[in-house]
Each structure stands twice: as structure tokens, then as C-alpha cells.
Chains A and B, each alone.
Chain A
Amino acid sequence: MNDLQDQIISKAKALLKEKRVDAVLGFCRGTVPMARRPFWARSPEEAELLCWDEFCLTNLANFVSIDGEEVVAVTAKGCDWRNLVVHHQEGRLDVTRQIVVLGIDCEGMLDPEKIRRAAGGPERVLEVHCTGEQIKISVPDGEILIDRASVYRQSCLECIQHAPLSADELFQNPEPHRRPDSGDSSGEKPSLGSDTKEDALRNHFKDCLMCFACRDICPLCYCSRCFVDVEKSHWLTAQAAIDRVLDFHFFRAHHIAGRCTECGACETACPMNISVRQLVTKLNRDIAESTKYIPGMKMDGDVPDGVFRPSYHEPSRRRV
């Protein structure tokens, strides 16, 4: 992906030099293998630090400031862009005027946890080199070679929009990696197993620590006061903890259903590898089935249950 990185850096430098933007929001390298961090390059020199590769995982739409104090260019994968679109629809941000979108035709990100597993444990990963279709992991006692295809992030395998549909600039790798077919769950509804739904859900979320990283990393969880922050002791109760865990994930899922672009930022952030997205994916499929609506694909137009008009009457509204 080095070619993409070069394109991004030279564009960022030009934008900063011409003072067309105050900052370019992208990624820079982190301090441990596979870690990339959101990074604001504010000068042509800092733009040299921008990086682009298969570990630029998190969704930068979560880091775009909406206060309008500075003009920012954002490097946006398809999923980042779709979240910017939702922000636009919801009136938080005028994507067409307030920011410069440096679109990236994303080749799919790799899942660090899958690579750590292949290495025999997180601490064993000393270095990761991605060349072509092979990933080379340096471990204390040698090297491990694995196929790129085996370590794609699940949400990237299911991705339906690799590149932004509108962008000020679009960067493409002339020789893109071919991500395998999704293995495919984009059409079907994810199944939660053969147990009863409740058991399946309890099992699915049993390791949740309530660290709220899924919420905090999510571009669409932007409520200034989240429902779990209203009465903390309720959420931190010592008893029947799993019920509170399920309450949290249920409420959150219903709050972002029909808005969530299934970018996977939540499950990438989860320290316990819970596939947090799965619940919302299921709700999204239900919504798509009944309304044909796919979140974050176009700036204009209605969103399901998102608009109230004077003529609107809820069919079975009971008057009290």
C-alpha cells in the first residue's frame, strides 16, 4: 500500500503548503506492531509522518471536530466516508463545505487479533511485514508466514462500499490486493446460534467489561450524555452483571440501527474480542429488508424513522 501512502502524503503537503486546510487528519505509525494512531498533520513536515497501510483500522469520522474552528482534510475509507455522510444527514457536519475528503479506495484492513493468534499470542508479535499476499510475523523464535487472505478484518470482508462515492480526491492503489469474497454474510442475517436467543446473547456478551470502548470509538455514538452515564450505579451494579451488559448493548444497538455502517471500529476496539457489531448488523438487515435503506450511502434523502412531517401519523397511536 506504499503507493497510496505516497499519494496521500504529497496531497497533504500540497494542501498544507497552500494553506487550504489547517490540518490533515490521517494515521501515523504507533509504538507497537500494527498500531496506527489518528494523527493531525499541521505542516508539510508533519505530513511526512502520515502513513497508510493495512492497519489504519479505526474510523476517523469519530475524530473530525464539528466545532468548525478549523478546516480539516480527512483520509477516508469507504466506511469513514459513510459515517461522515450520516453526520451530514444528521446535521452535525456539512461534509461538502466543512471538510476536504481525501477518499481512499480501501483494499480491506487486516485484523491484528487474527495476526496475534497466528503468532501464538499477542506478546509474541515483534514485527509484522505485509508484502503482497503474504504476511510475515517476526516472533521471538523465528518467523511465521501466513496468507493475507486469512487475516482480513471481518467487517472488511463484509464491506459493501470500499471507496467514498464522493470525494475531493480519490486515491487508488494501481495494483490492489484482492480481498477474498466475504464468506458472505452481507445478504443473510447473522445467526446467533442454536440456543435460545437469550442464552445466545448472554454467551455472546459474557466477557464484556463495560469499558465502553465500543461506544467511545463509534462515530455515531456522539450523544453528549449517553444513557449509561445518567445513573452510573445502575450500570455498575454488582448483581446480575450480565443483564446490565445486555441492557447496554441492546439499547446501543437499537440506537444505532439504521445508522450504523458496520465499519467494525467497535469490535476492533473491544479488548475482549467481542463481535459487538453483530447485533446491529442483524437489526440493519431487518431494516434493509423492510425499507431497502442502507445507511450512509447518500447525503440527501430520508432516513427510516428519522424524519417527522406534519402529515405524519403513527398508524396505531394510542391516545392517553
Chain B
Amino acid sequence: MSSYILRKERLPSYLKRLAEKYDVRVPVTVDGITLFSPYQDNLALDFTSHARISAKSFFLPQREVLLHYDTAGDEPQDEQTVADPHKLLFGVKPCDARAIELNARLLADDSSEASVQDIYFKRRVDNTIMLGYGCDQPGASCFCPSAGGGPFDRAGLDALITDIGDELLVTIFEDRPKAQILVHDDLMEEATSESLEVAARIEEDAVKILSSMPELVKPEPKESELFELALWEETARRCVNCGICTYLCPTCTCFDMMDEISEGCGTQSRCWDSCMFGLFTLHASGHNPRPGGKERVRQRFMHKLSYFPDLHDGVLSCVGCGRCVLYCPVNIDIREISRMMA
């Protein structure tokens, strides 16, 4: 780990330099919605708001073509043999970056030979550099420490920026193979011990703001007991089963696949899907194991707080970004559900 100072007036030159080699994406707010946009000169960057759509969309896009094939018997063509240009996400929130690590547990697990890798996701992870921006002003809907992260958590990041006033402190995580390309000696100076102290204080303050949040934990009761809780019925009364929570969630990775064939040529593609939708589990027979809102809302929280941690060393499938809480039209709050499950 090494730290550098980047004076704020040099940020445009720094970004320009990075953009010479990478497809740089920066957070930009238009009409109240922050999204990662391709870098251009003179964009007003917004490091305060969470991107409305999390960084997951760069690794698991909402829609993507996987294969082209034809009936003539040629080998299927993998859409990504033409690889994406290497991307650099600048100003990613630590919660979003941590989510990519959680997604990788599912989609790019290389712990054993038996594990399955999603090559599309994996390639993008390999080809993307993530430069984080520490949250010095966590929001009212933020609860990253409760979910096992933190406003300056480094999980999934190649480097992390701390805003220390007139300067940015850029901490490079050298154990990450691509981190070194973020160091540009002519634009940055080595960090002084004073600036490191300032950054440490800023981090402490942010952690303090979030410390009052109760911890989100894997519920104690057995799954069979959790399954029968009255809270599912109650919650389902107001849940409208829209896809907002799952689509905005950085850790939701469910997708559906489809083939579209015409005139001897076919395309296999995939799209985000949502456990909130009735069709998600509808069988070809017509039977639906999750026929109603109660079963679907239960599935979402059981997956995040019970099934996923069971399979992944107790780690919850939630990073505490707060999007589902903030944008749910009927204010279903995972923190509250977690308390009721515990």
C-alpha cells in the first residue's frame, strides 16, 4: 500500500492521462440521477451521490449477447472474442466495489476445479480497474458497516481516494496487479504523514456516523422456522413485486437466457431477471413454486440473509448501499426485515 497526493486542480489532467489508455467512466449527475458516463473534458463529477445503477452493470450488463450461431454447423461465436476495451471506473463507492467481490463468489469462483466460472463476468473483472472514492459523508440510507463493509473499505478496489480538502489522497493497493498504472509521478507527490493523518481522521468520522446502525446478521432461527414467519405475509401486503430492489441492488445477479433465431441464424443472450417477478419461477408445466407475493418477498430476503451466507462463509449478500431502502415505493427496509428475522 502506498499513498500519493493529487492536487484537485490536477484531477482533470490525471483523468485525461488515464483516458489515453482506458475507457474511463466517471460519475455524472443529470436531472438528479447519477450514472457512470464516459469521461470527457469539463464534465462536472459527482462523488457524493451513489450511482443510481450500481457498478455491477459494467460487469453484468442488463442485456448482453453471449453467442451468435447459425444452423450451417459453424462453431458458435462468442460475442466477446472481440474484448471490451479495458475500463477504468473512477469514483466507485466502496459498497459497489465490495459487491463485485461478492458477485465474484458466485460468478467467478476459482477456489476449486469444480467451480463454475462465468467467463463474461470474469473477463470484465479482469479488464476493469476500479478506483474508489471514500464516503466521507455517508447518507441516511447507508449502512455499509452493518453489512460487513465500511465507507472506506478496500474490497474489490485497486485504489481508494480520500478527499482531504484541497487535495486527494490516492491510496494504491499494490497487491492488486493493475494498481500500479494509477501512479503518475509527474502529476502526484508522495503523501506526507500529515495528509495521512487527516485522511485517517476523515475515515474515523465517517465510521462514527455509521456506527449507530445495528448490525445486519444472519438470522439465528433455522430456515424452516424463518420460512413460516408472519412477517412475510405482512410485508407482501404492501410489496407490489416490482423489480426496483433487485435491479438497483449491486449484489443481485439473477439473469434469464434466451435464444432468438431467425433465418438460420441465432443469438443467445441474457438479461437481468428478478425474483420479484411471477415468471421467474414459472415452470413449463404451469406450476409455480412461488405463486404469490409472499413467496417472492420471502425468497429475496432469505437469499440475501440466509441462503447466501450459508454457502459463502457467513457473508451476507448485501453491501448496505441503501438503494433498495431509498427507492422502494412502499419502503420495505432490509434492516427492519433482518431485525424481524433475527
Contacts and interface: CB of A to CB of B under 8 A. Distances in A.
Most buried by A among B138, B140, B141: B140
Contact of B279 (A36, A37, A216, A232): A232
Interface string A8-49: 000000000000000000000011110111111000000000
Nearest to B57: A209
Contacts of A114: 32
Contact of A124 (B137, B241, B274): B137
Interface in A209-225: 209-213, 215-217
B48 A121 contact: yes
A217 B267 CA distance: 34
B311 interface: no
Interface stretch (A81-89, A197-205, A266-274, A285-293): A266-274
A123 interface: yes
Contacts of B137: 123-124, 140-141
Interface in B234-284: 237-238, 240-244, 247-248, 256, 258, 260, 267, 269-271, 273-274, 277-279
A120 interface: yes
A126 interface: yes
Interface stretch (A152-160, A233-241, A299-307, A310-318): A233-241
A127 B139 CA distance: 11
A32 B271 CA distance: 31
A63 B237 contact: yes
B329 A58 contact: yes
A211 B276 CA distance: 10
Contacts of B256: 232-233, 236
A168 interface: no
Interface residues of A, number: 49
Contacts of B33: 207, 272-273
B330 A37 contact: yes
Most buried by B among A30, A117, A141, A273: A30
A236 B278 CA distance: 14
Interface in B53-95: 53, 62-65
Interface in A49-92: 58, 62-63
A238 B242 contact: no
A42 B68 CA distance: 57
A236 B333 CA distance: 28
B326 A212 contact: no
A176 interface: no
Nearest to A29: B331
B140 A33 contact: yes
B29 interface: yes
B156 interface: no
A62 B331 CA distance: 15
A213 B139 contact: no
Given A38-B238, A211-B247, A239-B267, A121 B331 contact: no
B37 to A, nearest CB: 13
Most buried by B among A33, A141, A211, A268: A211
B151 to A, nearest CB: 11
Interface in B305-342: 322, 325-333, 335-336
B260 A239 contact: yes
A32 B238 contact: no
Nearest to A233: B258
A282 interface: no
A248 B277 CA distance: 16
A123 B52 contact: no
A123 B141 CA distance: 7
A125 interface: yes
A124 B331 contact: no
A38 B64 CA distance: 37
B63 A123 contact: no
Nearest to B64: A238
B334 to A, nearest CB: 10
B46 interface: yes
A36 B332 CA distance: 10
A217 B328 CA distance: 11
Contacts of A252: none
Given A31-B335, A63-B238, A238-B64, A211 B140 contact: no
Contacts of B140: 32-33, 123, 125-127
Given A32-B325, A113-B32, A217-B329, A122 B271 contact: no
Nearest to A232: B279
A123 B44 CA distance: 18
Interface string B29-44: 1011110000000000
Contacts of A113: 32
A40 B48 contact: no
Contacts of A58: 329-330
A116 interface: yes
Closest 8 CB pairs of A and B: A123-B139, A238-B269, A30-B331, A211-B243, A121-B49, A213-B242, A233-B258, A216-B240
Given A113-B32, A236-B271, A238-B271, 15 more contacts: A32-B331, A33-B140, A37-B332, A58-B330, A62-B240, A121-B46, A123-B50, A209-B243, A211-B274, A212-B243, A232-B279, A236-B273, A237-B63, A238-B267, A269-B329
27 contacts: A35-B326, A35-B331, A38-B238, A38-B330, A63-B238, A117-B32, A121-B49, A122-B50, A122-B139, A122-B326, A123-B141, A123-B326, A141-B137, A207-B33, A209-B62, A211-B244, A211-B274, A213-B244, A216-B240, A229-B278, A236-B258, A237-B258, A238-B267, A269-B329, A271-B52, A273-B31, A273-B32
Interface of B: 29, 31-34, 46, 48-50, 52-53, 62-65, 137-142, 237-238, 240-244, 247-248, 256, 258, 260, 267, 269-271, 273-274, 277-279, 322, 325-333, 335-336
